[in-house]
């Protein structure tokens, strides 16, 4: 079987692959993601395209140095016309949650497979996330419960835990929200005969 490499240090993406029975190794792609994002935005790329370009850059970076099939993944959060970055501290998280309160935002999850330094497949999926109106009291309690761990998530939530309390509606695939749309990925791995069809 072709060796599958995850070009990421993401514990959640690795756990999703493991849960789906896909053995893999993790080799993080150490890239300046902000520089790639800024260049994409300067060239007029859409938020969906930015997610895809980041995933492709990670896959290519690791594929150029390692044999095997490399999976790159990235997720961007679009709120109104802005791409949101991870909050650096709980004060920034509080401000972001206030801004997202009562609004819809979009999670764009890009994936790319590379082999021998070439992209062999790429895909992007989007989830539409409707945040319920949040009171300041709720936000303070939520941040006290989650603590600094919430800073590892771009939207200051983890849907698989306390973050579910932020939402009144979600349109899209659960795996897309978690940052790795498994269904199209599994379909492509079957097409490439990496896993049984």
Q: Which active-site residues does the annotation give?
A: 74
Q: Where are the alpha helices (DSSP H) in the chain?
A: 11-19, 33-42, 47-63, 90-100, 136-146, 174-178, 182-191
Q: Quick check: 56 and 71 in contact, CB under 8 A?
A: no
- Give the Cα separation of 20 and 18 in Å (integer): 5
| Other C-beta atoms lying within 10 Å of the C-beta of residue 103 | 12
Q: Cβ neighbours of residue 1 under 8 Å, at least 6 residues apart? A: 194
CB atoms near residue 152 (< 10 Å):
13
Residues shown for the chain: 197
Write the DSSP symbol of residue 81.
T
Pairing between strand 25-26 and 4-6? parallel
Cβ atoms of 131 and 105 closer than 8 Å: yes
- Here the tokens at position 75 are 């997720």
């Amino acid at each position: 079987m072709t060796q599958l490499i995850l070009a990421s240090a993401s514990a959640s993406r690795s756990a999703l692959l493991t849960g789906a029975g896909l053995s893999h190794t993790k080799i993080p792609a150490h890239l300046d993601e902000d520089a790639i994002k800024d260049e994409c935005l300067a060239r007029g790329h859409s938020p969906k395209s930015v997610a895809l370009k980041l995933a492709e850059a990670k896959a290519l970076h690791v594929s150029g140095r390692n044999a095997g099939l490399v999976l790159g993944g990235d997720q961007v959060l679009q709120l109104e016309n802005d791409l949101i970055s991870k909050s650096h501290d709980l004060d920034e998280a509080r401000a972001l949650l206030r801004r997202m309160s009562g609004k819809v935002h979009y999670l764009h999850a890009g994936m790319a497979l590379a082999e021998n330094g070439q992209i062999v497949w790429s895909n992007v999926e989007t989830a539409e996330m409707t945040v319920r109106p949040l009171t300041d009291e709720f936000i303070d309690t939520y941040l006290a419960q989650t603590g600094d761990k919430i800073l590892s998530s771009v939207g200051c939530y983890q849907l698989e835990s306390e973050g579910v309390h932020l939402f009144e509606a979600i349109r899209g695939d659960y795996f897309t929200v978690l940052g790795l749309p498994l269904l199209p990925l599994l379909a492509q791995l079957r097409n490439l005969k990496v896993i049984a069809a």
